[in-house]
Structure 1
Amino acid sequence: MKTLSLALTAVLATGLVACTDEASVENTDLDVATTDGEAAAKAREIQGGDLADLQLGAKIVGPQGEEVKARLTNEAGAFADITSYVACPKGVTECDPATAPNGMIYTYVHTVYPGEDNQDDSGSGTGADSSDVEIATSFMMTQPAYGFTGAVGYSTAEVIRAVGNKAQVVITCLDGGIVWTINAGGGGDQWEQAEPITFWWQSTVPPAGPADAYAIKANYVTATGNGPYPAKSDQAPSACTAPSTDG
């Protein structure tokens, strides 16, 4: 795993504003490590921001419309549905990478529904290939996060609804991609069937189209699937490949 350079810490504030109406979820143990293993992981983590604090503009409209829906699967079946979109910053009324100015920041947003999305006719929902997810432990990228600015996070309110106030979400880099690990903490609950959680990250590189680049670890196996993904760009700096400041 790569450690985020301290020089990139300030970038996390990009696209975020203070949120005064989320007081009910501020004083939680989301960032408290309760075991030695969790403490070691937190030493390598990237600080995450709350989805509720983002101010986004228009979404990119692709061949599937504003949202891309897919399943996260393996040879045993479907383990989650994923709904994704990519948005430009607040104030942008038409998010078109072809006409966007240099320096545009794109926010990739992914809502992951373990087991199902509660829609009878899509994804892993009732009437389709539904699985019974008793525990999901992480959402991740399986390819490098090209252009990753260091700004990343999740929906605090959704994590609390799914797992409880004692949950911990640790964000780290692995092989150039981003991993969101969700632990139950002292709450005793788990991220499981039909409990959606939204994750987000920002990049200087627009999506090139859906790619098989996302995964969930559920029921102790890994299932993968499609979502909007930036084009390969070795020239665009990524926070996941920034030099470590560890001694």
Structure 2
Amino acid sequence: MKQILFAAPILMLAACGETTNTEVTDVEAPLASNGELAAAAAALPAGDFLDLVLGAKIVGPQGDEVEGALSTNEGNFADIRSFVACPEGMTKCDPKTAPAGTIYTYVHVVYPGEDNQSSTGSGEGNDSSDIERATAFRMIRPAHGFTGTAGYSKDEVLGAIGPKADVAITCDAGELVWTVSAGDGGNQWEQAEPVTFYWQSTLPPAGPADAYAIDANYTQAKGPGPYPAETAGATNACLDESN
């Protein structure tokens, strides 16, 4: 498995509104093996979704956002709401007229369990068991056109898990995986705690496809989201031999 590892520092907030410069990263955390140490030493920082300034969203047959559910034969395990945006300054995002070199940002908001809104995703139709532990959001198809830029909302992860949270973005046979680690026991990424993930591609979406999944309650639930078609000449940073 080829792997690019992105490790991001998460600031810890002190009591009474005071802040500290102490940072927790997976480089500083205890490591179980020399392999993990080597991966951590070569880590690149993940982007923070709150730092992104995006332009207009692509408007498709379902509007500017696509809603769905990540599910198994036993039921829905998560809601997913996705959109694709053009870069800052573009007031209209139409791949047919977008200039050459346009970078598209794929954004996915994942809600373990249901989001308690009957009009979106799983909504009231979610009859799966309560999600006690979600450990990863991932692609289950290659990330065509992937530029090497990806990230997540650090504030949302901090709010869901706390300062011990560790999110690593890796490549698995051309697919992207966001592994969310909270250690054993204690607070986990769980029911009704939405987290936003993103990645960037040189390719626009060809339409919704069953290309995404969540690992939760020790099973994998799959579902749809905007996805780019394989295109001749397009690269994928996960498959770049220099990585």
**Normalization by structure 2: what TM-score?**
0.86
Q: Which moved more, 1:228-237 or 1:39-48?
A: 39-48
Q: Could you tell me whether the CA contact under 8 Å between 1:149 and 1:202 is conserved in 2?
A: yes
Bigger fraction of residues in strand: 2
The correspondence of residues 141-160 of structure 1 with structure 2, limited to 5 A, is 141-160=139-158
Give the corresponding residue for 2:92: 94
- Change beyond 3 A, Cα 1:75–1:197: same
Q: What does the per-residue CA deviation read over 1:67-117, in whole Å, with 9 as the maximum and x for residues that have no partner?
A: 000000011111000000000000000000000111000000000000011
How many residue pairs get aligned? The number is 229
C-alpha displacement of 1:185: 4.1
In 2: Cα distance, 1:27 partner to 1:186 partner: 23
The correspondence of residues 154-173 of structure 1 with structure 2, limited to 5 A, is 154-173=152-171
Q: Secondary structure at the match of 2:160?
A: helix
Q: Could you tell me whether the CA contact under 8 Å between 1:184 and 1:190 is conserved in 2?
A: yes
Between the two proteins, what is the percent identity of the paired residues? Answer: 60
What stretches of structure 2 of length at least 5 have no aligned partner?
Answer: 7-17
Q: Which moved more, 1:41-50 or 1:105-114?
A: 41-50
Give the corresponding residue for 2:9: none
1:84 aligned residue (77, 82, 85): 82
- Change beyond 3 A, Cα 1:130–1:24: farther
In 2: Cα distance, 1:24 partner to 1:86 partner: 35
The residue type equivalent to 1:235 in the other structure is: G
In 1: Cα distance, 2:93 partner to 2:20 partner: 31
- Change beyond 3 A, Cα 1:215–1:42: farther
Q: Secondary structure at the match of 2:123?
A: coil
Give the corresponding residue for 1:35: 31
Give the corresponding residue for 1:16: none
In 2: Cα distance, 1:26 partner to 1:179 partner: 29
What stretches of structure 1 of length at least 5 have no aligned partner?
Answer: 10-22
Q: Could you tell me whether the CA contact under 8 Å between 1:46 and 1:172 is conserved in 2?
A: no
Q: Secondary structure at the match of 1:107?
A: strand
**Aligned residues: CA RMSD:** 2.5
Q: What does the per-residue CA deviation read over 1:114-140, in whole Å, with 9 as the maximum and x for residues that have no partner?
A: 001120343333454343100000000
